[in-house]
Amino acid sequence: MIPKKIRTAVFPVAGRGARFLPATKASPKEMLPIVDKPLIQYAVEEAIAAGAEKLVFITSSSKQSIENHFDRNPELEHALSESGQNNLLSIVKKIVPPNIACIYIRQGAPLGLGHAILCSQSVVGNEPFFVHLADDLINSEIPCLEQMRKYFELYNASLLGVEYVHDEDIHRYGIVATEVDSSGASRVTKIVEKPALKDAPSNLAVVGRYIFTPEIFKKLSLIKFSVDNELQLTDAISSLINDEPVYVLPFDGTRYDCGSKLGYLKATVQYGLEHAEIGVKFSEYLKNITKPQNK
Ligand code: G1P
């Protein structure tokens, strides 16, 4: 019997971030800020809000600033303390609460998302776990992984966060077909990685939130290189659905694809408008620059 408590969240962060070059030449895409917090910190906060205590980052050689971000920085803390900047000091010290363990595993070669998740097997063990892709930033009242955790507790099966996408975006996602099973939940009957529109089983796309039972590791260890010549998580899910149910959850919230420039800018505007310190002024500024000009 699989335990229902999810303690571990896996963050695949080894990707190159080519769509954001030159910004990502020397700095990981996951460290790009939305207003004043890097994307990876939003990811970590979401996982912790859903109960994760063990954070597993699948990294690569160019991602050391992620480790630094979640580590203490005594020199900075000392300087902030000396200059009486206690508010900033407390922000810096509280990035990761003390009961949370951060574990870093290097993915030696960029072999794909499936391979990245397989790298976490020895740390995750025989338990269900979250997978969070930091590019997909989700703004919601209840954090997306928390919505999924509650759903998982009802069905005790793997679960994919999904949303409908336009025809022209289908080729960028894993796309699923589903049917309602006897438990009343939507079960995946087919999943295809980045299909052409004509081959897509629906418009329902998998976004970067997953809960997996440990069975996924057996499937990941058997997959072959496929789309983009990578080991694809989608192929492991496609095999898993033959053995056990995999459900989908169309979560509540707005997703921003922060791996794309437009999505990143939209997120920046939205989080800027909601920001306690600058929201009101930013809103006034936007109203001014979007006012129809008198000619
Ligand atoms: C990955 C997955 C894809 C999923 C997407 C969500 O693709 O392979 O199935 O739909 O994340 O963002 P990537 O964006 O890494 O190419």
For residue 145 the two structure tokens come to 């992984």
Report how far ligand 1's centroid is from the alpha carbon of 251 (Å): 17
Q: Nearest C-alpha to atom 10 of ligand 1 is from which residue?
A: 173
Cβ 188 vs Cβ 237: under 8 Å? yes
Q: What pLDDT was estimated at residue 2?
A: 64
State pTM to two decimals. Answer: 0.95
The alpha carbon dihedral of 152, 202, 135, 242 has a sign of positive
Distance of alpha carbon 85 from alpha carbon 81, whole angstroms: 6
Distance 133 CA to ligand 1 centre (A): 8
Query: Cβ neighbours of residue 70 under 8 Å, at least 6 residues apart?
Result: 44, 55, 95, 96, 102
Q: What is d(CA 56, CA 9) in angstroms, rounded to the nearest whole number?
A: 6
pLDDT tens digits in sequence order for the chain, 295 residues long: 667 799 999 999 998 888 999 999 989 999 999 999 999 999 999 999 999 999 999 999 888 999 999 999 999 999 999 999 999 999 999 999 999 999 999 998 989 999 999 999 999 999 999 999 999 999 999 999 999 999 999 999 999 999 999 999 999 999 999 999 998 999 999 999 999 999 999 999 999 999 999 999 999 999 999 999 999 999 999 999 999 999 999 999 999 999 999 999 999 999 999 999 999 999 999 999 988 776 5
Q: Which atom of ligand 1 is nearest to the CA of 113?
A: 8
8-155+207-289: which CATH architecture? Alpha-Beta Complex (3.90)
CB-ligand 1 contact for 116 (6 Å cutoff): no
Answer whether 249 contacts ligand 1 (Cβ < 6 A): no
Q: From CA 3, how far away is CA 125, in angstroms rounded?
A: 11
pLDDT of residue 37: 97
